[in-house]
Amino acid sequence: MTDQQRDRYARHLLLPGFGVEAQEKLLNSRVLLIGAGGLGSPTALYLVAAGIGNLTIIDHDTVDLSNLQRQILHRESDLGQPKVRSAQRELEALNSNCHLTLLEEPFTAKNAEELIADHDLVIDGSDNFTTRFLANDACYFGKKPLVYGSIFQFEGQLTLFDQHEQSPCYRCLVPQPPADGAVPNCLEAGVIGTLPGIIGSLQAMEAIKYLTGLGTPPRGKLVHYDALQTSFRELTINKDPHCPLCSADANIHSITSEAQASCQLEGSDSITALELQSISEEILLLDVREAAEFALGRIPGSQLTPLSQLKTGAIPALPFDHLIYVHCKAGTRSAQAIKILKEAGYSSLVNISDGYDGWSKIKPT
Ligand SMILES: [Zn+2]
C-alpha cells in the first residue's frame, strides 16, 4: 500500500479487525455491478470511495429527467446521455485509483456467464425481474456471491446469496418470474428518492463485508426496510427443497436453457414504451401486429412484419449488427416474434413490453 493509500483509507485502517489486510483485500477485489441507476449509484460511489480495486458496471440505459430524483451519479447535463458515461466521470473524480470498466450494453444470457466468471462478487442493482432472475441463475452456476437489493415505493429488501450448499437462492423465494406487467416497477408505482440510497448503501456494505471477511453475512435472511414505519425486519429465507434452480429437483440446468424455456422474460431484453420514447437515436422498430391493426394506428417509424408472416418462415432481411426493437399490441406476440427471430440468427432484440397500448397512453399529443 502506498503512503497516499494509507492516508486515503486511514479511517478504515483504524477499525478493529480491519487494518491493512482488509484494505488490501478490497484493493485486489473485482466487483460486477449490474445497473447504474437508483441502487447502482450509491453502491458504486461507496465501493469506489472504499477502495474497491476493480469495478465493472453494466448498464445500457440513458439518463432521463425522472431519474435525477434518486440516481445520484447523474446530473442535469447528462440528460439523454448513457448512464455509464456519467457514472465513469463521477467515479473517476472520486477515486482515480479504482480501475473502472463501463459496459454500455444490457446484461443478458449471452454475456452473463463470462462477466460473472471474471469477478469476485456481483451486485444486482437492476429494477426488473428479467435481470434479477438472470443474475441469480448466472451467479448460482458461476458460484459467485450475489448481493441482492430491491425497492418498491417506501420499502426495500436486501440479502446476500453466497452460494454455499445450504444457502437459498432467489428462486427459493420467488420460483418463477411473475408475468410481464403483473408486478409494477418504479416507473409505474413510484419510489421515494432516498430509498435506493439506503438499500444501495446496504448492498455496498454487504459487498465490503464479504470481500474482507468481516462480520456475518445475511445468509438465509431477507432484511426488509419500511421507511414509513422506520423499521427493519428480518425474514428467514428457507432453502426450498423443490427450488427449480438449486435443489435436487432442479429443472433449470444452464443459463441458456432457462432463457429458451421462457423467452418472454429471460431470453430477451425488454423495455416499456415510455423508455422507448427516451431513446434519441434512430432505431429499428418492428411492428409484428397484423396489417389491419397497423392501418388503424402505428408508432411512427415502425416497420410492419406480422407475426403470422414470421411464423410461415418469411423472415425479413434485417441488419445483424443493429439493435432491433419489437412490439405488438401488449408484448406477448412480440415475445413470440423475438423467439422466431432468435432462431433465425438475430441476437440483439428488445421487446417493448407494453407494446402499442403502452405507447398510445403516453404518445405526445
Ligand atoms: Zn434456490
Strands 99-103 vs 121-124: parallel, antiparallel or unpaired: unpaired
What is residue 363's predicted lDDT score, i.e. its pLDDT?
Answer: 64
In this structure, the answer to whether residues 48 and 166 fall within a common structural domain is yes
What is residue 259's predicted lDDT score, i.e. its pLDDT?
Answer: 41
What is residue 283's predicted lDDT score, i.e. its pLDDT?
Answer: 85
In this structure, the answer to whether residues 193 and 299 fall within a common structural domain is no
Among residues 202, 222, 253, the one where a domain terminates is: 253
In this structure, the answer to whether residues 238 and 297 fall within a common structural domain is no
Residues 230 and 364: their CA atoms lie apart, in Å, by: 40
Among residues 253, 282, 312, the one where a domain terminates is: 253
16 Cα: distance to centroid of ligand 1 (angstroms): 35
CATH number, domain of 68, equals 3.40.50.720
What is residue 263's predicted lDDT score, i.e. its pLDDT?
Answer: 37
Residue 260 in any domain: the answer is: no
CATH number, domain of 340, equals 3.40.250.10
Among residues 253, 282, 306, the one where a domain terminates is: 253
Residue 165 in any domain: the answer is: yes
Residue 261 in any domain: the answer is: no
Residue 142 in any domain: the answer is: yes
239 Cα: distance to centroid of ligand 1 (angstroms): 6
In this structure, the answer to whether residues 237 and 354 fall within a common structural domain is no
243 Cα: distance to centroid of ligand 1 (angstroms): 5
Catalytic: which of 98, 139, 186, 246?
A: 186
Encoded amino acid at 227, one letter: A
Residues 123 and 200: their CA atoms lie apart, in Å, by: 9
What is residue 180's predicted lDDT score, i.e. its pLDDT?
Answer: 55
206 Cα: distance to centroid of ligand 1 (angstroms): 20
Range of the domain at 42: 3-253
What is residue 330's predicted lDDT score, i.e. its pLDDT?
Answer: 84
In this structure, the answer to whether residues 165 and 117 fall within a common structural domain is yes
- The answer to whether residue 186 is catalytic is yes
| Number of alpha carbons in the 13 Å side-chain half-sphere of residue 332 | 3
In this structure, the answer to whether residues 169 and 102 fall within a common structural domain is yes
In this structure, the answer to whether residues 46 and 186 fall within a common structural domain is yes
Write phi, then psi, for 316 (nearest 5 degrees): -70, 155
In this structure, the answer to whether residues 290 and 216 fall within a common structural domain is no
Strands (E), 198-344: 221-226, 231-236, 269-271, 284-287, 303-304, 324-327
Residue 172 in any domain: the answer is: yes
Number of domains in the chain: 2
What is residue 10's predicted lDDT score, i.e. its pLDDT?
Answer: 97
Handedness of CA 187, 192, 193, 199 (dihedral sign): negative
Residue 259 in any domain: the answer is: no
What is residue 188's predicted lDDT score, i.e. its pLDDT?
Answer: 62
Write phi, then psi, for 329 (nearest 5 degrees): -80, -45
Write phi, then psi, for 157 (nearest 5 degrees): -135, 155
Residue 262 in any domain: the answer is: no
- The answer to whether residue 98 is catalytic is no
Residue 247 in any domain: the answer is: yes
In this structure, the answer to whether residues 182 and 152 fall within a common structural domain is yes
All 3 cell numbers of residue 231? 423499521
What is residue 313's predicted lDDT score, i.e. its pLDDT?
Answer: 87
pLDDT by residue for the chain (365 residues), tens only, comes to: 999 999 999 999 999 999 999 999 999 999 999 999 999 999 999 999 999 999 999 999 999 999 999 999 999 999 999 999 999 999 999 999 999 999 999 999 999 999 999 999 999 999 888 899 999 999 999 999 999 999 999 999 999 999 998 999 999 988 877 665 556 566 667 899 999 999 999 999 999 999 999 999 999 999 999 999 999 999 999 999 999 999 998 989 888 644 433 433 334 588 888 888 877 777 899 999 988 889 889 998 999 999 989 988 888 888 877 889 999 988 888 988 998 898 888 888 899 988 998 888 776 54
In this structure, the answer to whether residues 69 and 197 fall within a common structural domain is yes
In this structure, the answer to whether residues 239 and 274 fall within a common structural domain is no
Write phi, then psi, for 130 (nearest 5 degrees): -55, -50
Separation in Å, CA 236 to CA 141, 224, 295: 23, 11, 53
40 Cα: distance to centroid of ligand 1 (angstroms): 25
In this structure, the answer to whether residues 246 and 328 fall within a common structural domain is no
